[in-house]
Structure 1
Amino acid sequence: MRITLKIIAILLLCITLSNIAIAKTEIMSLSEVRPGMKGTGKTVLRGNKIEEFDVEVVSVLTDQPGQDLILVKTSGEVIDRTGGIASGMSGSPVYIGGRLIGAVGYGWQLADHKIGMVTPIESMLDIFELDKKREIKDVIDLKEPIKIGDREYKRIYFAEDSQEVDDREAMVATPVSTPLMVSGIKGRAKDRLAESLEGYELVPINGGGVSSLEEDTNLEPGSAVAVQLVRGDINVSAIGTVTYRDGDKILAFGHPFLSKGSVNYLLSSAYIHQMVTSIKMPFKLGSPGKLKGIITQDRTAGIAGKVNEFPNVVPLEVNVFDHDLNKKEVYNLQIVQSEDLIEGLASSAVLQVIDSTIDRTGEGTAKVSIEILGNKLPNNIISLENLYYSPNDIAATSLSDFLQSLSLILHNPFTKVNLANIKFNIDIEKRAKVALIEEIKLDKEQVAPGEEVEAEITLRPYREDLITKKVKIEIPQDIEDGKLEVHVFSGQEANLNRFTPQEEEKSSKANNIKSLDELIEVYQQQNKNNQLVIELRPSYTPPSNIENSEDKAKDEEIKEEKLELAEEVVDTSYVLEGTLMEEIEIITKEEIK
């Protein structure tokens, strides 16, 4: 009986604690908020300990063009330590009498950092339903001036960054930025990342990796939170604060992150290492912690997500082997499923892995193989291989096919592709495996239709002995008498010749591409940089003294019809350069006798 009563008591206690955990936060509506009211805010300054700071309502900005806001002044020991409202405090919940009024969302750079604006919780709750879509206007003309110190303000300007405004009666407000912390990426790879995010006004700064110091934090109002774009051996995360939680639903930031509407970001807890003071705006230096769930909405009033539900991501595996150092590195990471972000995030990550492995910038040869899996791709996969050489930056050069293939897939005009997995493998050596196409010799000067001609092609590798390649080409049976051109291209030159604006126009008409499958097929038909391409083409001599426009048009049509008659492709171990041409005469067999 005692055991039974004890079990019942434990169960009742668990139910009680559960009810406490999921109890909704009491809300104070904006109509109840008055100037002079005092309350508290919550945030994390170090580790994952939630601390409180003092808040006083200065003014309530209602019925303005755009979103309603609450102007506040912060104070207390916490604010003295931070130097004011800091980057990373966005989303910090503010309470009056224990009731939530909203989240710290906006502050002033290069000004009094203790003054800020709170996004009303009612506007943030709308994100869950998305039935009210409000936008922040560039300028709010205040119905009644606001007096702070000895200054009186009649307007508020909203800017993405610090901005000079020649108007003494105006305040310039900026979102309390969410620091974009990166780890495992630096130098030019970080610069590339910053360039890809330039339109979002985000500047990556180096923080820590996934924190091993963090305990298993239960996200609650005031907790530090990370929105991750990349997770794994490389991390790219925006740090902010949780505003509100209702069961597994959360709100944070109090302003947009990337303003992308419905999204698919990784939601993690965060660990704050240090507060960094700054004249421009103080900021938190932090790291993402344990993966907690998904961010599903990125709207004007903040971000919304769910704990214990997880987003679709794109796994990226990068394998680099440096033959000179006999060094191999393998990186594994997850990237958010976003057509606009994957290219910049993935290319920056791959460049970083290559740079870290070879530990230099300069010449070299690289063999690259790429596998991209996606749900709408032919056979659900694209596989590419190529050889690259660069005299000054082999790491960046070797990304060419990777960037082209991602762009082709993600921005194709036919259908949306959800990527499932990406593998990038690269072998690098400093040796210059490059060769010039130096000479072509044909074994015959005259040839009959249906016969073969053998071309001996001489290659001159860099600082190595000459190499010869012999290729037999069959002359078409139905070819007319006359001159025939034998063209020898490097794979790169053959691709350039095919995809000039004029050739692209002819190719698109001929292929009449109507699907993603056809588009991928055409793309994969490109020659590799280490291939010799031998083409037969009819010789064409334009008529002299063409003056009539109609005759010129007919002449252009004739040239368009002079397509290659045959093509042979030969693989080599070198990145090839150059192009050559020889002529051969086509005559009947009787004439040869």
Structure 2
Amino acid sequence: MVRRVVVVGIVLAVVLTPLMGWAQSKAVLPPIMPLRDIKPGMRGIGRTVIQGQKIEEFDIEIMGILQGGGDVIPVRHLILFRASGPVTDRSGGTAAGMSGSPLFINGKLIGALSAGYLWQPGKRELALGTPIEDMLTVLDLPNGTAQTPWPRTFAASEPFHIGRRAITRVVVTDTLAQAQRVDEAGLPGMTAFIPATFPVMVSGLSPRAMGFLRQALGAAQPLLQYDQEGATFVASPITGGSSVGILQVRGDVSYGGMCTVTLRVGDRLLICGHPWDQMGEVEYALTTSDIVTVVRTLQEPFKEGNLGDLIGKIDQDRGPAIRGVIGRMPRMLAVRVAVTDLDAGTRIEKGVQVVRRRDLAKTFAAAMALTAVDRARGQILGGGTASVKITLRAKGLPRVISRENVFYNSRDVALASLLDLPDALNFLLYNDLAPLDPVDMNIEISVTGKRQTAAIAETTVERREVAPGERLRVHMTLRPFQEQTVPSRVIEISIPRDFPRGPAVLVVGSAGRQVSLESAPEQGLAQLLQQEPQPSPAATLDGAIQLFEDYGKNTDILLQLIPFGLPPEGSEFVKFDVFAGEVVRTDWVVQGEIQIPILIR
């Protein structure tokens, strides 16, 4: 399936690649002009696509060389140039989607368009290029190489003018807001450019899941939502100036953008002339793309296009460039979600492949599950009960493991049903007891509007004073919602011989996670996903599996005898050999909590 993509806001380019163009007979570098030979006043051309898959040329004039780095930052350079000609007249200057466009002087490759200057009246013609010498270091970079920082401040070899201003220093900022602050500071001889980091495009999410995604990723990451539309095109062979798609999530949900190929050598590509996330060694999806048109706006022109077939992978995301490899497919984490509305009899199934990156896997698994629940129920808010089963597979696990839990919420059962996802994903992706190689995750959710809860109606103890080594007998009564009270049960809690003497508290309540979803529920889920994973309280992987599968369920009643003054939470209270406790299984989501003072003699 081919997807319609809109690219907005930053210098970016689109590349097209056909299945027929995967192979290239010779891995030969084109003629290269070193940075030392590039002088102000030199003229040349750039190559890009602004419609379809036809590579066209625009004119460039070198204005100067910017030198960056110093101190702890590696010395780097950028090429300052002006773009012109019929192609940029049609595109409105350096449009979003042109980053990576190869630049040539006298037939020799000098670098790639990588950053633009936004404060230009009329046509956006002032831009920066990454020297090809820096980019070539990424082409042959071996896996496992540490990443290095990209400099942010550059000094011009000679002053240049923007309008009446003489510029001697350039700051390359991460965002438009940062660039505006630099410009508003009015520092003499200084201005700001923005890296041609493409705006990220997202499709397949419900409006609420899109809001959750923005909350989880933060304001620094611009997101553009687009609809998936069927489209067909035959991709042309990929070469310098072509357009390609880069995806970190693909399937029923897509997350990625488009960039221009600077150079192809054999099956390897240098793309963009800038990083995406600068994560170093990665595995993203590489696809074909096709440009529909360049949309001209008051702020910045941008390319609109379609993403096509998977043709390879991105394996390096570095400061000078992104490296693609044609014909080698990325290893990604498969996440599948199935939601059944038991009242309506409807079922929705969705699946994605997510880059094997912990933060994105956690975020998109939750966003896709939220989308599936919202669409299966045909509503955003609404109370009810959800039964959830999460199944995990990974190399390093002794078997397939799964966790089943039941959730109730009177306002938003869809979000409540996802509250086990952070722990499941942390177990799979951040396991501190064994090296796990995740394979896939399956989430099965069944939702009903019926309330399946029970309140702890009454809890009493036979004695308020017990000694270490004795048993505390507890009588407990449950009252299911709008049903008859369940006959009282007797639970015995063994008091460890080393239990601290003195006052203690018997806490009786749900064993499940207590999270409020009353206000800003999407924000609450995002915060859970962003929390730093804690070390497992278990000593072995088998122990951690048992905790994951059996502990902390909303249908369980947890009875804990806690020394006075200590909170009934934290990993220490999982260790029942240290603190006295028992778990009682029920058929309902348990609500309410009772505390009884106890004296340990």
TM-score, length-scaled by structure 1: 0.79
CA displacement, residues 372-399 of structure 1 (integer Å, 9 cap, x when unaligned): 112233x243311111111222222221
> How do residues 482-493 of structure 1 correspond to structure 2 at under 5 angstroms?
488-492=508-512
Structure 2 residue 50 is the aligned partner of structure 1 residue 45: yes
Secondary structure at the aligned position of 2:450 is classed as coil
Q: Give yes or no for contact 1:255–1:303 (8 Å, CA) kept in 2.
A: yes
Secondary structure at the aligned position of 2:339 is classed as strand
Query: Which residue of 2 is the match for residue 245 of structure 1?
Result: 264
Structure 2 residue 233 is the aligned partner of structure 1 residue 233: no
- Tell me which amino acid in the other structure corresponds to 1:140: F
Structure 2 residue 159 is the aligned partner of structure 1 residue 145: yes
Identity across matched positions, percent: 29
Distance 2:490 2:163 in 1: 89
Structure 2 residue 586 is the aligned partner of structure 1 residue 567: no
Query: Which residue of 1 is the match for residue 117 of structure 2?
Result: 108
- Tell me which amino acid in the other structure corresponds to 1:80: D
Does the C-alpha gap of structure 1 residues 469 and 96 become closer, same or farther in structure 2, counting only changes over 3 Å? farther
CA displacement, residues 506-538 of structure 1 (integer Å, 9 cap, x when unaligned): xx99x9744444444444442311223456x69
CA displacement, residues 254-276 of structure 1 (integer Å, 9 cap, x when unaligned): 01110111111111112333423
Which structure carries more relative contact order (alpha carbon 8 Å, separation 6+)?
Answer: 2
CA displacement, residues 227-279 of structure 1 (integer Å, 9 cap, x when unaligned): 11100111101211111100101000101110111111111112333423233
- Offset of 1:404 from its aligned partner? 1.8
Query: Which residue of 1 is the match for residue 80 of structure 2?
Result: 71
Query: Which residue of 2 is the match for residue 33 of structure 1?
Result: 38
Query: Which residue of 1 is the match for residue 486 of structure 2?
Result: 468
Query: Which residue of 2 is the match for residue 90 of structure 1?
Result: 99
Does the C-alpha gap of structure 1 residues 329 and 217 become closer, same or farther in structure 2, counting only changes over 3 Å? farther
Distance 1:353 1:172 in 2: 42
Distance 1:138 1:194 in 2: 26
Distance 2:164 2:474 in 1: 92
Q: Give yes or no for contact 1:207–1:285 (8 Å, CA) kept in 2.
A: no
Query: Which residue of 2 is the match for residue 80 of structure 1?
Result: 89
Query: Which residue of 1 is the match for residue 300 of structure 2?
Result: 281
CA displacement, residues 41-88 of structure 1 (integer Å, 9 cap, x when unaligned): 222223333232222222233587532111111112221222221222
Does the C-alpha gap of structure 1 residues 135 and 470 become closer, same or farther in structure 2, counting only changes over 3 Å? closer
Secondary structure at the aligned position of 2:259 is classed as strand
Q: Give yes or no for contact 1:388–1:575 (8 Å, CA) kept in 2.
A: no
1:353 to 360, 368, 372: 372
Q: Give yes or no for contact 1:237–1:288 (8 Å, CA) kept in 2.
A: no
Secondary structure at the aligned position of 1:69 is classed as strand
Distance 2:149 2:578 in 1: 57
Distance 1:153 1:492 in 2: 61
Query: Which residue of 2 is the match for residue 311 of structure 1?
Result: 330
Structure 2 residue 544 is the aligned partner of structure 1 residue 532: no
Distance 1:98 1:541 in 2: 80
- Tell me which amino acid in the other structure corresponds to 1:471: R
Query: Which residue of 2 is the match for residue 14 of structure 1?
Result: none
Q: Give yes or no for contact 1:207–1:287 (8 Å, CA) kept in 2.
A: no
Does the C-alpha gap of structure 1 residues 390 and 110 become closer, same or farther in structure 2, counting only changes over 3 Å? farther
Structure number, greater radius of gyration: 1
Does the C-alpha gap of structure 1 residues 81 and 361 become closer, same or farther in structure 2, counting only changes over 3 Å? farther
User: Pairwise CA RMSD of aligned residues?
Assistant: 4.0
Distance 2:514 2:192 in 1: 56
- Offset of 1:93 from its aligned partner? 1.1
Structure 2: 5+ residue stretches without partners:
1-21, 498-502, 517-533, 566-574
Q: Give yes or no for contact 1:273–1:286 (8 Å, CA) kept in 2.
A: yes
- Tell me which amino acid in the other structure corresponds to 2:210: K
Q: Give yes or no for contact 2:462–2:472 (8 Å, CA) kept in 1.
A: no
Distance 1:457 1:31 in 2: 84
Structure 1: 5+ residue stretches without partners:
1-16, 497-507, 543-559, 587-593
- Offset of 1:452 from its aligned partner? 12
- Tell me which amino acid in the other structure corresponds to 1:90: S
Distance 1:128 1:431 in 2: 58
- Offset of 1:477 from its aligned partner? 12
Query: Which residue of 1 is the match for residue 170 of structure 2?
Result: 156
Secondary structure at the aligned position of 2:303 is classed as strand
In terms of fraction of residues, the more helix-rich structure is 1
Q: Give yes or no for contact 1:110–1:281 (8 Å, CA) kept in 2.
A: no
Between stretches 256-265 and 162-171, larger displacement belongs to 162-171
2:382 to 358, 362, 370: 362
Distance 2:597 2:24 in 1: 86
Distance 2:371 2:323 in 1: 31
Question: Runs of at least 4 residues of structure 1 off by over 6 A?
Answer: 17-21, 131-134, 441-447, 449-454, 475-479, 483-487, 493-496, 560-564, 582-586
Distance 1:384 1:428 in 2: 17
Query: Which residue of 1 is the match for residue 194 of structure 2?
Result: 174
